Chain A
């Protein structure tokens, strides 16, 4: 089933990639229900996934990869505004720089492959959950923000690493896209370890 609708663009990298600034075509992802996605990204584990097989096209995988990176950039931007802790600020800037670099790599690759990233239920659920998390982070007092941010970063990076290893890479057909996802994993694991280190430093 195809659904078309207009929505406000909040993620410029996606608009840039698709070349369609206002309209996304949504294809219902075969065999991948929102309840499974909700389990995947809100409880930060994919162990709850049903035994049904998932099916994401390469175009959808590329879209999910960009969305996942953009979300962390937005979390980091909140941190640069709300935190006064040097370790948090350094970590947040690294997230902005590194995830921007990943999006640039993904953009270059999809252009080379002539693939148009396709919006999908996984991306939509990620964005929906991220909006809730951003509201939550923005509401935190200065005293509580640093812990809330870094705790979320630890959980988010664990979830994204899991999703890439167990969902996106296995679902990807194109070898170069698969290679990019594999190339990104060391950075994500370093981010996770960095977040854990900062978490310990601030007493989390």
Chain B
């Protein structure tokens, strides 16, 4: 993988998937945060997580760790299909947290 260089942010280097475009259902992992921290999505939507940091992260369901991306290096992407509102975190940096809220839940 190409080395991260400060101040250069590039799209996914996941070789098995085409480069995703940052859009409404994209969460960037950058500067040790999930951006946006709260994502509103419809059930059935696909959310793409992209690691833009030079440190590893993951995306793990917080309550019972029922799903996880596994370790993501810089440039890696991971996708999940929304089934309900859920809280998630980075299990490597446990203070990094995010939230998915389904629009059908009255939002």
Contacts and interface: CB of A to CB of B under 8 A. Distances in A.
Interface of A: 90, 94, 97-98, 101-102, 104-105, 108-109, 176, 179-180, 183, 186-187, 189-191, 193-194, 197
Contacts of A104: 3, 54
A101 B54 contact: yes
Interface string B53-69: 11110000000000000
Query: What is the predominant secondary structure among interface residues of chain A facing chain B?
Result: helix
B17 to A, nearest CB: 24
A94 B4 contact: no
Given A186-B32, A187-B32, A187-B55, A97 B92 contact: yes
A102 B6 CA distance: 11
Interface in B1-57: 3-7, 31-33, 53-56
Given A97-B56, A98-B55, A187-B55, A179 B6 contact: yes
Contacts of A190: 32, 93, 95-96
Contacts of B96: 190
A109 B7 CA distance: 12
A194 B94 contact: yes
A129 B97 CA distance: 34
Contacts of B53: 187
Contacts of B4: 105
19 contacts: A90-B92, A94-B93, A97-B56, A97-B92, A98-B56, A101-B56, A102-B55, A105-B3, A105-B6, A108-B3, A109-B6, A179-B7, A180-B6, A183-B7, A183-B31, A190-B96, A191-B93, A194-B93, A194-B94
Nearest to B93: A190
B5 A108 contact: yes
B8 to A, nearest CB: 10
A90 B32 CA distance: 17
A105 B56 CA distance: 13
A186 B31 contact: yes
